[in-house]
Chain A
Amino acid sequence: MLRFAVRRLMQLVPILLGLSILLFFWVRALPGGPAVALLGERATPEKIAQINRLYGLDRPWYEQYLSFLERAVQLNFGSSIRTQRPVTEEFLRLFPATVELSLAAGIFAVGLGIPLGYLAARRHTTLLDNVSVTGSLIGVTVPVFFLGYLLRYAFAVKLGWLPATGRQDSREFLDAVHPTGFYVLDGIITGNPAAAWDAAKHLILPGIALGTIPLAIITRITRASVLDVVHEDYVRTAEAKGLLKRTITRRHVLRNAMLPVITVTGLQVGLLLSGAVLTETVFAFDGVGRFLNLAISNRDFSVIQGFILIIAVIVVVVNLLVDIAYGLVDPRVRAR
């Protein structure tokens, strides 16, 4: 098992190196080069020359790349043009919000998708099955931001059941303290359950909007996987042995059917983090995605570069962890 984990870790090195090369050249390909990107509208020939000297942009490209790598390893991506604060600091400030939102979306997708997919497979070719198949096909074609609008309009504007935007009602919870940045958790640990409940309510609509595509994917894969497994010989053998239906379901069907579901669920992390850019914009949710959107409209390239690299690294690492977890659950994977 350790060898498997180490081997998978080693595969990470070329991917991360490649990503750094890609982003290194990305900044150099920006219109006007990195100096203009850094200075924005304040760029004058003198200032550009000054920045080029300061950041060693007049040196050969391989020397530049090495120093870029050195800074990237230290998570030093410069400062945001808009807020004048270090990119990494901004990311760390906003990341808990995005994690909280992604978790809400993930709970919605997994909590609903697995039972729905399982039931659809067990009631194969019935109405429920057809509805789940059609629903998951439509689910992947509804853009996150459109669904966000629909939800906002129905449940916030028309019905007024849930808040339309933001992370917490700032008028009501002006004095709420946020030691961790995870608002729901903060409410609980600071003994302010009303604040926690308010933060949780703010997560419902964006969580559903962000979680719908993963929900569709997880439902489909669970259904397909359960359908595959129930026709396996070992299930028939178990039935022939006269095992209880419940035991067969738990020990033989679910355990085997869940393997592809774990992988696919792990792969949704990338989808959640990138979908957050759109969802957070629709719901004015103050997280990494919304900040990235503002960076795009302000041509804040240090933020775009830093945020995308950090998110990519997170996605790659999470996928690796999922792979290792998969190896733990299924001994056959380790042998490969």
Chain B
Amino acid sequence: MTAPHELGAAADPRTAMVLAGAEEGGSLGRDAWRRLRRDPAAVVGFVLVVLFVAVAVLAPWLAPYGPTDTPGQGTVTPTNIPGPSAEHWMGLDNLGRDELSRVLYGARQSLIIGVVSLLLGATVGILLGLLAGAFGGWVDNIVMRVVDMMLAVPQLLFAIAVAAMLGQSLTSVMIAIGVTNVPVFARILRGSMLAQRGSDYALAATSLGVRRRFVVLRHVLPNSLSPVIVQGTLALATAIIDAAGLSFLGLSGSDPGVPEWGRMLSETQRFLASAFHLAVFPGLAIVFAALGFTLLGESLREALDPKYRR
């Protein structure tokens, strides 16, 4: 944190603010980066996330078959579903499709659902948190009561209710998870802004006559964002798991051309005893993707939170 006397040293308070902000942001960022590079958990998380995104983007080039191709047609019967082999690394599914290709394509759905629901939840949540944090008083009161109410319903049940209302499709799943993210982001940003509003640099800016809007948007908000970034990374992990859960319950509808990990798991339920590989690979894919974001998020939290700097 910048000491108040440094702010007073520059003639123009705005210049001082900008300089102070830039200097602080730079050092915080550099410091965080240094910590992250040294943290093995962060490196593992980063590698998993990069791998996941790369697979999602490059699926059509990486996958040996299309998601609906049936190379195993004719050889596969309900009692004989071949497992992993040199030709099909993850085996075939009950319809003779290549499991590896479907798992690779499945990364796309998880990434899209994760990113879209995060953007939706974070945007609305940040706006609400900003409203509550910047205005305080009755605005804060109303926003926070709505947030409390939304948080009262367990997240997965809330998502089920929203997705059921919107009808069974991947879009409903994205919106449902996005909506359940709103209260979390709103609460975190508001809390963080309240803490920053009382800080020395914000008081200094206000007492120097800088307009409230400027103080909030230029100084308080950027300094309040690090918990939001951490939450965003962790929310991606939750979104991937919850999306798989909602799909598992049949809320993402059914479109054979669009493989989705949760749905793949749900479809294999009947073949659990005869073709266990159909449950293992999509399941592990979910675990690794979610683990990547969790490790990265936790490491980011440690790198950005001054409490951990011992």
A140-170 interface bits toward B, Cβ cutoff 8 Å, 1 = contact, 0 = none? 1111111001101100010000000000000
Q: Which segment, of B128-136, B146-154, B195-203, B205-213, faces chain A?
A: B146-154
Chain A positions 311-325 with a Cβ under 8 Å from a chain B Cβ: 311-312, 315-316, 319
Q: Which of A263-285 contact B (CB under 8 A)?
A: 270-271, 273-275, 277-278, 281-282
Asked if B229 CB lies within 8 Å of chain A CBs, one says no
Which chain B positions have C-beta within 8 A of A146?
A: 265, 279, 283, 286-287
Whether A296 contacts B283 by the Cβ 8 Å rule is no
| Known A-B contacts A143-B245, A143-B286; A19 and B149 likewise in contact (beta carbons under 8 Å) | yes
Mostly, the B contact residues are helix
Interface residue stretch chosen among B59-67, B96-104, B115-123, B288-296: B288-296
Which of B146, B245, B272, B273 has a CB less than 8 Å from the CB of A278? Answer: B245
The answer to whether B291 and A281 touch across the interface, beta carbons within 8 angstroms, is: no
CA of A219 to CA of B162 in the docked complex: distance in angstroms?
32
CB pair A142 B149 closer than 8 Å? no
Cross-chain contact of A297 among B149, B250, B298 (Cβ < 8 A): B250
**Size bracket of the A interface:** 35 or more
Q: Are A315 and B154 touching (Cβ within 8 A)?
A: yes
A304 touches B287 (CB 8 A): no
What residues of chain A lie closer than 8 Å to B157, measured between beta carbons? 273-274, 277, 308, 311-312
Contacts of B161 in A (CB 8 A): 23, 26, 304-305, 308
* Contacts A15-B148, A146-B286, A153-B272; A274 near B154 (Cβ below 8 A): yes
Contact of B68 with A by CB under 8 A: no
Please give, as numbers and ranges, the residues of chain A lying within 8 Å of B298 by CB-CB distance.
137
Whether A308 lies near B153 (C-beta < 8 A) is yes
Given contacts A31-B167, A157-B272, whether A144 and B245 have CB atoms under 8 Å apart is yes
**Cβ of B279 and Cβ of A312 under 8 Å apart?**
no
Q: How far is the CA of A26 from the CA of B166 in the complex (A)?
A: 10
Q: How far is the CB of B50 from chain A (nearest CB, A)?
A: 17
CB pair B237–A270 under 8 Å, yes or no, is no
Does the CB pair A278–B283 fall under 8 Å?
no
Q: Please state if B152 and A143 are interface contacts (CB–CB under 8 Å).
A: no
0/1 string, A59-89, CB within 8 A of B gives 1:
0000000000000000000000000000000
Interface flag for A301 (CB, 8 Å): yes
Residue of B nearest to A134 (CB): B41
B276-308 with Cβ < 8 A to chain A:
276, 279, 283, 286-287, 290-291, 294-295, 298
Residue of A140, A274, A305 touching B156 (CB-CB under 8 A): A274
Q: Which of B41, B152, B155 has the most CB of A within 10 A?
A: B152
Tell me the chain A residues, 1-43 only, with Cβ under 8 Å from chain B.
14-15, 18-19, 22-23, 26, 29-31
The smallest C-beta distance from A310 to any residue of chain B, in angstroms, reads 11
**Chain A residues, CB < 8 A from B273:** 153, 157
**Per-residue 0/1 for B33-76: is the Cβ within 8 Å of any A Cβ (1 yes, 0 no)?**
00000000100000000000000000000000000000000000
- The verdict on B184 contacting chain A, using a C-beta distance below 8 Å, is no
Once the chains bind, are A275 and B156 in contact (CB under 8 Å)?
yes
Closest B residue to A152 using CB positions? B272
Q: How far is the CB of B84 from chain A (nearest CB, A)?
A: 16
Give Cα distance in the complex from A331 to B265, angstroms: 48
Task: Please tell me if the beta carbons of B265 and A18 are within 8 angstroms of each other in the complex.
Answer: no
Contact in complex: B294, A140 (CB < 8 Å): yes
A244 to B165, CA, bound (A): 60
Expressed in whole angstroms, the minimum distance between the Cβ of A208 and any Cβ of chain B is 16
In the complex the two chains form, is B154's CB within 8 Å of A271's CB?
yes
Q: Which residues of A contact B250 (CB under 8 A)?
A: 293, 296-297
The answer to whether A143 and B156 touch (CB under 8 A), given A137-B294, A149-B279, is no
Closest residue to B268 on the A side, CB-wise? Answer: A149
Q: Does A217 contact B (CB under 8 A)?
A: no
Q: Does B20 contact A (CB under 8 A)?
A: no
Are B291 and A141 in contact (CB-based, < 8 A)?
yes
Give the distance in Å from the alpha carbon of A144 to the alpha carbon of B266 in the complex. Answer: 12
**Contact A149–B283 (Cβ < 8 Å):** yes
Other-chain residue from A14, A157, A271 in contact with B145 (beta carbon distance below 8 A): A14
Interface string of A289-309 (1 = CB under 8 A from B): 000110011010100110010
B288 CB, min distance to chain A CBs, angstroms = 8
Does A138 sit at the interface, judged by CB under 8 A? yes
Q: How far is the CB of A133 from chain B (nearest CB, A)?
A: 9
Q: Which residues of B contact A308 (CB under 8 A)?
A: 153, 157, 160-161
Asked if residues B154 and A304 are in contact (CB atoms below 8 Å), the reply is: no
Query: In the bound complex, what is the Cα–Cα distance between A15 and B145 (angstroms)?
Result: 7
User: What are the residues of chain A within 8 A of B262 when measuring CB–CB?
Assistant: 143, 145
Q: Are B154 and A143 in contact (CB under 8 A)?
A: no
Q: Which residues of B contact A150 (CB under 8 A)?
A: 279, 283
Separation of A31 and B161 alpha carbons in the complex (Å): 13
B155 to chain A, nearest CB (A): 7
Minimum distance in angstroms from B158 CB to a CB of chain A: 8
Name the residue of chain A whose CB is nearest to the CB of B149: A18
Contact call B249/A293, Cβ cutoff below 8 A: yes
Identify A277's interface contact among B41, B160, B165, B241, CB under 8 A: B160
Given the complex of chains A and B, what is the CA–CA distance between A311 and B286 in angstroms? 27
Would you mind naming 28 contact pairs between A and B with Cβ atoms under 8 Å apart?
A137-B294, A137-B298, A140-B294, A141-B241, A141-B294, A143-B241, A143-B287, A143-B290, A146-B279, A146-B286, A149-B283, A153-B272, A153-B276, A153-B279, A157-B273, A157-B276, A273-B157, A274-B154, A277-B249, A278-B245, A278-B249, A296-B160, A308-B153, A308-B157, A311-B154, A312-B153, A312-B154, A312-B157
Q: Give 7 closest A-B pairs by Cβ, nearest first.
A: A146-B283, A18-B149, A270-B154, A274-B154, A141-B290, A274-B156, A312-B153
User: What 4 additional pairs, Cβ within 8 angstroms, besides A143-B244, A278-B245?
Assistant: A153-B276, A274-B154, A278-B249, A311-B157
